[in-house]
Amino acid sequence: MTTITTEKNLVTLINVFTVSPENQQRLVDLLVEATQHTMRKQPGYLSAAIHKSVDGTRVTNYAQWRSREDFEAIGKNPEVAVHMRAAAQLATSFEPHL
């Protein structure tokens, strides 16, 4: 479960995806699947929550990692890359921030 805290011993990714309404649920499903089957197995993964906007045009991934290094290491994982490419194809844009 995601915990919002002022502790500085973790990093939080907030990634806002812009999508067409017909792709919103597809993207949510893809991100949930990626989290359940891939991300949560990565070293340093703590939690994630996927949120969708009421108007159907945004999906937000709020994920917590033990460290910046742990988060950056997932970029080198080919299995993670497959999920992220699929997400990028469903979104019209995305804005990840740590």
Measure the CA–CA gap between 82 and 74, rounded to whole angstroms.
11
Q: What is the pTM of this model?
A: 0.90
At 50 the pLDDT is 98
Q: Mean pLDDT of residues grouped by 10 in the chain (98 residues)?
A: 70 96 98 96 96 98 95 93 95 95
pLDDT of residue 56: 98
Q: What's the topology of domain 11-97?
A: Alpha-Beta Plaits (3.30.70)
CA quadruple 52, 86, 92, 77: dihedral sign: positive
**Average pLDDT of the residues of the chain:** 93
Closest listed residue to residue 87, CA positions, set 38, 34, 27: 27
- Angle, helices 21-37 vs 78-90, to 10°: value is 170
Q: What ranges do the domains of the chain cover?
A: 11-97
pLDDT at residue 9, as a whole number:
81
Cβ neighbourhood burial of 19 (10 Å; 0-12, 13-18, 19+): buried
